[in-house]
Structure 1
Amino acid sequence: MASLLFSAAPNLRASLPLSSSSTAASLRFANSSYLPSRRLALFHLGSALPQSQLLGVKASNILRTEGNTIEAASDRIMAQAATTTTTKENVLEWVKNDKRRMLHVVYRVGDLDKTIKFYTECLGMKLLRKRDIPEDRYTNAFLGFGPEDSHFVVELTYNYGVDKYDIGTGFGHFGIAVEDVARTVELIKAKGGTVTREPGPVKGGSTVIAFIKDPDGYKFELLERGPTPEPLCQVMLRVGDLDRAINFYKKAFGMELLHIKDNPDYKYTVAMLGYGPEDKNAVLELTYNYGVTDYDKGNGYAQIAIGTNDVYKTAEAIKLCGGTIIREPGSLPGINTKITACLDLDGWKTVFVDNIDFLKELE
C-alpha cells in the first residue's frame, strides 16, 4: 500500500518546510469545527497524505496511538457484520441503488485570498464558508454556485508557507457551464485572468467552449449551456486504460456511463460518467490518450468526495472490483461521521461519506 500512496503524491514532501513538525502541520486538512480531535480525524482524509500513511503505518496502529482502540474495534465488528451477510452479487446490485452524489472536489492552492477573489469575481462562485486553523497552519475555503447540501463545490486548502504546487500531467481540468462563454472570457481578461483557448466551437462539434487558468494554474473549461442547476459540472482526470476505468466506476462507484467519444484524429477518447444527466449534475470526465498508460499526479489535486448510504458496503464493493481501500470504513475518531477512502485502478483518490452524517456536519 505504501508504494501506491507514494505514487499518488510523489512530490509532496519536497514542497514543504524542512522541519518534520512544521511539515506535518503545514499539510493538515479538515472538514470540521475547531475541536482538536476532529481536526486530527479529518487530517487523515484531506488534501495531503499524513506522515503515518507515507511511512506505511496501518490505520489500526494510527488509531491505537490516538487511544481509539475501542472505537476501531467497534468499527471492525460493524464492517464484518455488514460483509459476512452479503455476497458479491448483492453488494454490486446494492451499489446500483445506493443514493450517491458528488459532494466536493479538493485541491491545494498557494494564495487562498487571490483564488477566492478570482472564483467569485470571474467565475461567479460564492464563498460558502471559510475557516482558519492557525495552530495547525492551514486554511480551508468552500466555494460553489449553491449550498453544499445540494450542489457540487470546490474545497480549497492553503498550507501556511506553501505557495506553489505541482499539478502534474494526470489532472485535466474542471468544467463550468455558463450561458455566454464569450462574455465570461472578456470578464476574465478584464480581471487579469489567463485565457488559453479563445471561445469557439469544440473540435468536431457545435458546443462553444473556452479554456482558462486560475491563479494556481488549474485549468477550467467553460461550456456554453442554458440555465443549469449545477454549473460546476465536470472534473476531468486522465487514465491509462479507459475500458478498465469505466468498468470500475460503473461497478464499484455505481456511476452511469453517459456517453463516450473517440477522437482518432487527435488520438484520445473521452468517457463521461456520473449519477445523472450532464446538464443537471456534476460528472467525471475520464480521458485516455492513445498509448499513455501512466501519469504524474503531482501534489496539487487531492480527491473527490461522494455521498453514500453505507460506507461499509461501499468499501466491500470497491475491494471486489480491485480498488484499494486506504482508510477502512468506520467513524472518524472523536466524531460520528462515517467515511471510507480508496484509490481507483489508476491511483486517483476518492472519499465516500455517509449521507446522513454529512448533513449533520453541515448543521
Structure 2
Amino acid sequence: MESRRALHFVFKVGNRTSTACFFRDILGMKFLRHEEFKEGCKASCNGPYDGKWSKSMVGYGPEDSHFVIELTYNYGIGSYKLGTDFLGITINSPDVIENIKNHNYPSTEIGGVHIVTSPDGYQFHIVNQVCEGDPIQKVTLACSNMGKSVDYWTNLCGMKKYSFEEKKAVLGYADNQCKLELCDISKAVDHATAFGRIAFSCPREQLPSIQEGLKAAGQTILTPLVSLDTPGKATVEVVIPADPDGHEICFVGDEAFRELSQVDPEADLLLDKAIAADKSEEWFAKKGKTKASA
C-alpha cells in the first residue's frame, strides 16, 4: 500500500550524553526534534513507565522523507536488558565508516559490513556504499515462524514481499522506503526490557479498518485507537498492535503526523539543555546508588 510509509524505530536509552555523541559523531545523524514529558505516554511510547521521560528524533533528514530513530529516555532508569528481538539497522554510508575510523570507535567487519554497537547495545550494520536518498535501508527483526510472520505483515498489514527465503524475508510499502527484514531464529523471540517499536504512517481514515481487521483475525491490539498529545504541537491518532512474535507496531495518522514531525531547528539545543539540567545521575551518586536497571 503506497499510501503507507515507514517512519521510525523506537529505542530506549539509559544515558543521553553518550547516546547523543554516538548518533552525532559516529552515525553522522542530526537531531530533528526533542520533547520532554512529565508523565508516561497513553500508548506506552516510552515503555511501561509512568514517570518523567523524553523523546528525541534523530536521522539523516526530515521525517516526512526519511526513516529516523526515536530515542526515549526514562529519567529514573539507567539501562535495559537486551533480548533477541532486534537484530540491527542497515545504513549505506561511506561517511559513517570514515567516522568509525576517525573516532577509533569499536567495530567488527563481516563480509564487508562494519558492525557498530550503540552505548545501549543496539547494532548498526554499515555498508560502504553511496546511497541516493535516505541512507537507512532496513530494520531487521527476529521471528520464530517465517510463514506466520510474512502472512501477518503482507495480508494483514499490506506490505509487499521484496524477497522471501526459508529463513529471511524483506518486506516494505514502497521501493524507495526503509524495508523490514525478518530473520527466522527458530525459537521464541525474547523482547526482554529493551524492546523497541516500529512505526508506520497511513491516512488517518485507515486507522479504524486496520484495528478492526487485526481484531477480526484474532491478532493482538496493545493500544486501541487513541489520541496522543505533544505539548504545543499537533495531536496524532495511533493504533498499537503486536505481530505474532510480540513486536510492537505503531500505525499513526499521516496527516497530523506530518504536522507534528516538522524539523525543529532548536532540537540540538533543547536536547543539550535537557541533558545539562538532568541531575538524576548526581542524585543517585550522592545516595551511593546507581540508576535502576529495567
Q: Same fold (TM over 0.5)?
A: yes
Deviation digits for residues 183-229 of structure 1, max 9, x if unmatched? 6445324425321x22x53xxxxxx3221111111111112333231
Aligned to 2:289: none
1:236 counterpart (121, 140, 144) = 140
Aligned partner letter, 2:169: A
The question of 1:358 aligning with 2:273 is answered no
Query: How many Å separate the matches in 2 of 1:358 and 1:131?
Result: 15
Q: Secondary structure of 1:301's partner? A: coil
In 2, the alpha carbon distance for the partners of 1:331 and 1:131 equals 17
Quick one: which amino acid aligns to residue 160 of structure 1? Y
Asked if the contact 1:251–1:321 (Cα under 8 Å) also holds between the matched residues in 2, the reply is no
**Bigger proportion of residues as strand:** 2
In the alignment, the residues of structure 2 paired with residue 224 and residue 322 of structure 1 have an alpha-carbon distance, to the nearest angstrom, of: 43
Deviations 1:298-353 (A, max 9, x none): 11132011101120011122223442112222434797522111011111110110
**Inter-partner Cα distance in structure 1 for 2:148 and 2:27:** 34
Q: 1:330 to 1:215 in 2, by over 3 A?
A: closer
Cα distance, 1:157 vs. partner? Answer: 1.0
Equivalent position of 2:32 in the other structure: 128
SS in 1 for 2:196: strand
Alignment partners' CA distance in 2, 1:228 and 1:170: 29
| Distance in 2 between residues matched to 1:332 and 1:157, nearest whole Å | 16
Distance across 1 between alignment mates of 2:88 and 2:169: 14
Please name the residue that 1:304 is paired with: 198
Q: Does 1:314 align with 2:226?
A: no
Corresponding position: 1:106 with 2:2: no
Aligned to 1:337: 236
CA contact (8 A) 1:193 1:213 kept: no
Q: Is the 8 A contact 1:308 1:314 kept in 2?
A: no
CA contact (8 A) 1:311 1:330 kept: no
Q: 1:104 to 1:333 in 2, by over 3 A?
A: closer
Structure in which a larger fraction of residues adopt helix? 1
Report matched runs for 1:266-281 at 5 Å.
Answer: 269-277=167-175, 280-281=176-177
Structure 2: distance between partners of 1:298 and 1:191:
31
1:349 has 2:248 as partner: yes
> 1:195-206 counterparts in 2 under 5 A?
195=107, 197-198=108-109, 201=111
8 A contact 2:12–2:73 mirrored in 1: yes
User: 1:141: how far off?
Assistant: 1.0
Return the offset for 1:115. Answer: 0.9
Inter-partner Cα distance in structure 2 for 1:281 and 1:98 = 10
Unpaired runs of 5+ residues, structure 1, are 1-96, 202-207, 263-268
Q: Which runs of 5+ in 2 are unaligned?
A: 40-50, 263-294
CA deviation after TM superposition for structure 1 residue 360, in Å = 2.7
Amino acid of the structure 2 residue aligned with 1:296: D
| C-alpha contact 1:274 1:284 (8 A) present in aligned 2 | yes
> What RMSD in Å do the two structures reach over aligned CA positions?
2.2
Q: Is the CA contact (8 Å cut-off) linking 2:85 and 2:142 kept in structure 1? A: yes
The TM-score with structure 2 as length reference comes to: 0.77
Q: CA deviation at 1:241?
A: 0.4
Q: Could you give the per-residue CA deviations for residues 51-79 of structure 1, whole angstroms, max 9, x where no partner exists?
A: xxxxxxxxxxxxxxxxxxxxxxxxxxxxx
2:105 is matched with which residue: 185, 193, 197?
193
One-letter identity of the residue aligned with 1:338: E
Q: TM-score when scaled to structure 1?
A: 0.63
User: Based on CA coordinates, which of the two structures has the bigger radius of gyration?
Assistant: 1
1:49-88 aligned within 5 A: none
Given that residues 229 and 281 in structure 1 are in contact (C-alpha distance below 8 angstroms), is that contact kept between their aligned partners in structure 2?
no
AA paired with 2:106? T
- More moved, 331-340 vs 169-178: 331-340
Percent identity among equivalent residues?
Answer: 30
Counterpart check, 1:144 vs 2:59: yes
Amino acid at match of 2:247: W
Equivalents in 1 of 2:101, 2:80: separation in Å?
24
SS at match of 2:80: coil
Deviation (angstroms), 1:275:
1.2
Q: Which amino acid aligns with 2:136?
A: L
Counterpart CA distance in 2 for 1:251 and 1:104 is 22
SS at match of 2:255: helix
Deviates more, 1:320-329 or 1:240-249: 320-329
Shift of 1:254: 0.8
* CA deviation map 1:16-36 (0-9, x unaligned): xxxxxxxxxxxxxxxxxxxxx
**Is 2:92 the counterpart of 1:153?**
no
